A and B are shown apart, each in its own frame.
Chain A
Amino acid sequence: MKLSIPQAEFQHALSRIQAIVEKRSSMPILANVLLDAISDSGEQTLRLSATDLEVGIRSSHEATVINPGSLTVSAKKLFEIVRELPNDVIHLEATSNSYLEIRCARSRFTLAGTVAEEYPTLPEAAPGKTVPIPASVLSQMIERTMYATSTDETRYNLNGVYLELLPKSGKIRMVATDGHRLAYIDRVINDEAGAIHNSVIIPRKALAELKRLVDEDDADELELCFDGNSGLVKKGGVILVMRLIEGEFPNYRQVLPKETTHRIVLPAEELANSVRRVALLSSERSRAIRLDLSPGSMIASSNNPDLGEAQEELDITYEGEPFSIGFNARYLLDALSVVKAKEIELGLHDELSPVQIRPTDDTDTLAVVMPMRL
């Protein structure tokens, strides 16, 4: 293997895979990146692959390939080296005993590697029909739902975001819940949404990688494809493959609140700031805050026997009977922080029913948070 590639391109490619390579794996080779130098009928590319067996990224980059070949080396060390090199051409060459020689300007490194044959194959997705989706739409959908996934490994079916097609409207929906809160968002993507015929659960780590990919500067439109228990996302020369969560997503529709007695419209940021301030004195374990509603006013408060008390009053348009409801402040803040709207509507029923949080200018998204017993 012998090739050369511009430093900037190589650094960018290596930084993309850093979150995927396993730091502490039972398979040490998963800490490596697989380099494939390919010279195919005039087209010369360097292909990078990294995987933790659940998620994998493969990217192709234009390069000058002198000798085709493959090698794997520590992804972290290679990145650290390339990051420090000047913006010039980097020459890579596999030397004897699986060493990788890296030369750039007047620097020269040799990095111990492992033969490519030992590297596991990435989860492959069969070439099914792909659905194009704008990066900005996908980014927003992930942002609005991913925070509500469960990190409790015993509830693996909640460890990801559920993606389904809404046949009537032709929109796609992403839903996530951890059993205490839920968030969903519906978006129109295009006429080909119908190609997503199976509902799937995308695991959190894959979503995080996907989010990084859609938020890259040059991201415009991506191709999505699901097949069996694997998924594939294409962005130009970058392919993200993932293993999907096998399991049944709970029947979330039955927990979407049907009754809403009170609707309160509030400036989103003002509410978030109040909750954040009051939460400073809530118990560290429960993060419980209390909302007391009465005509014209909402008082947010917290108290912690070890610390003290906090209270803040907000003017609201509320006409009903006074009532009090408790919440985990973090759940409220998580929901408020991703809404990114000027105004939100809080839908409340009683002190044991969930609150609904929704931007006033977007009815296709909803966050639901269960209260705490006071």
Chain B
Amino acid sequence: MTQIILHADMDAFFAAVEQRDRPELRGRPVVVGGLSDRGVVSTASYEARVFGVGSAMPMLEARTRCPDAVFLPGNMKRYVEVSRTIFSIFERFSPLVEGISLDEAFLDLSGTQRLLGAPAQVGQKLRKSVYEETGLAISVGIAPVKMVAKIASDEAKPDGLLEVQAHEVRDFLGALPVGRLWGVGPVGRQRLERAGYRKICQLAQAEEETLRRALGEWGEWGVGLASLARGEDERGVEHSRVASSYGEENTFAQDVCDLEPLERAIRRHAEAVARRLRKDEKLGRVVVLKLKLGRRRSRGPRGYPQHTRQCILPSYSDDGSTLAQAAQALLREFGCGEPIRLIGVTVRDLVTRGEAEQGQLGLFEAFADTPESEKGKAVARRSQLNTAVDELTSRFGKGAVSWAGEALLEPAGLHDRAKSGDTET
């Protein structure tokens, strides 16, 4: 049975919420993002987009392009609230909703025709409900393939709806540039263009052998893309995604060279990741340190050399100090000395608390004078401390108690970026 997938995407979400809440901003260019010189744009209202301002653009550039815009630091808490309302509306239209971010989701409409009507009608009804209940505009794309639904909602913007039926998929995709395909970033696009593939249709029609030859070591990647280009993608809508990694990172307002402030930043991120792990009753075992160097290698946001280093902990952990120590050791191993622009800590290989406790017993743990048993006691004490800290935080708010040395350096953005990885398959 062919799937029917609806992709719903709020129009200029953060900016639209600001314009809704503050009528004086309506009709004016609004830019939400990190306001320091090194911040980046989170969302630009359509009025600002006319001036060429877009997401992920350095704030400085946005200010040059559109000096008259209203620049706002944003209010995450508010956006999360609105997002909850929107998702509760989504759930009225499909039992299967896959949230991608605060303002974007896939809905599975397969088999709902009899109950709700034709997909396009469902889409219009959903748009109407969102507008009536939140005062915000949303665009909708409908297609038998996830990626096509997403591109369709993009094409429908602003405040529109576009349905691409199964027999229209190839024509719809064909005319678009290859950069619109999932998994093709700026680098991938260049690679394809150099091999002579500019339009999606060229890729869709390419012979597998020719493609392999043209792309060399990237042949396998290209063959996968070609089938995506033909709209062959069976991925369905997945119930709320299970994160396979938790991470926190920040860009510094000024590049940092010294070990000590970097270690403090690591400590801060590690504690934040650990708090999220404990909140979700998870433990992780692989610690990844991410570094972006301040010395630019080429133009564009990807021009800063990025490095990651990782290590495996001896056992699963949700303790900030343990994670911080591992990441700090990775930093020392990396040997800093060069100015660092961005630092991040991510934890992978997650298990639930239940899984971790079900685990393997150790031979040496029961014996008093072994390092293993001492370690066990320390872990237990630390876990009690974490429980107490979590309780204080939940009662008095974030930052009520924090570790000495977890101090804040001035970040460039409006907040540290909390990230969750994709589902593990």
Contact = CB atoms under 8 A, between A and B. Distances in A.
B351 A371 contact: no
A155 interface: yes
A255 B364 contact: yes
Q: How large is the interface on B (under 10, 10 to 19, 20 to 34, 35 or more residues)?
A: 10 to 19
| Majority DSSP secondary structure for residues of B touching A | loop
Contact of B363 (A152, A255, A285): A255
Nearest to A328: B360
Nearest to B358: A373
A370 interface: yes
B361 A371 contact: yes
Contacts of B355: 285-286
Given A154-B314, A179-B372, A285-B351, A250 B364 contact: yes
A180 interface: yes
Interface residues of A, number: 25
Interface in B72-93: none
A354 interface: yes
A180 B360 contact: yes
Nearest to A154: B314
A286 to B, nearest CB: 7
A83 to B, nearest CB: 28
B361 A372 contact: yes
B359 A181 contact: no
Given A152-B314, A285-B351, A251 B362 contact: no
Interface string B289-320: 00000000000000000000000101000000
B329 to A, nearest CB: 10
A82 interface: no
Given A154-B314, A285-B355, A286-B355, A370 B370 contact: no
Nearest to A155: B314
B367 A254 contact: yes
Contacts of B358: 286, 288, 326, 372-374
A45 B371 CA distance: 52
A250 B359 contact: no
A15 B247 CA distance: 46
Contacts of A254: 367, 370
Interface in A10-33: none
B24 interface: no
B217 interface: no
Interface in A255-290: 255, 285-286, 288
A179 B359 contact: no
B357 interface: yes
Interface of A: 152, 154-155, 177, 179-182, 250-251, 254-255, 285-286, 288, 326, 328, 352, 354, 368, 370-374
Given A368-B363, A372-B361, 18 more contacts: A152-B312, A152-B314, A177-B363, A179-B362, A179-B363, A179-B364, A180-B360, A180-B362, A181-B363, A255-B363, A255-B367, A286-B358, A286-B359, A352-B361, A370-B360, A370-B362, A372-B359, A372-B360
User: What are the 5 A-B residue pairs with the smallest beta carbon separation, nearest first?
Assistant: A370-B361, A255-B363, A372-B360, A370-B363, A180-B360
